[in-house]
Amino acid sequence: MCIKPAEFYLLDQEVLCFYDIMIRGRQRQEIVIGYRTANAECAIINPPQKSEPRKWAIDDVFVVISSGE
């Protein structure tokens, strides 16, 4: 398990739902299980509203299960 920068999955201020991020992670052979926004202290694992679109910032990070770096 590791933390990956948002720039691996999206463009700054791109509007996507968490399911879209999960699909992009899958294309990288990764499993995205959560995120932490740039202004938050704690990560959200298995977010409840995965289909709700939101604007992501390039400073956000994602919690990922990955076999590589």
What's the pLDDT at 46?
97
Tell me the three state secondary structure of residue 14. Answer: coil
Tell me the three state secondary structure of residue 9. Answer: coil
pLDDT band at 69 (very low <50, low <70, confident <90, very high): low
Contact 6, 61 (CB under 8 A): yes
Chain segment 16-68, per-residue pLDDT in tens: 999 999 999 999 999 999 999 999 999 999 999 999 999 999 999 999 999 86
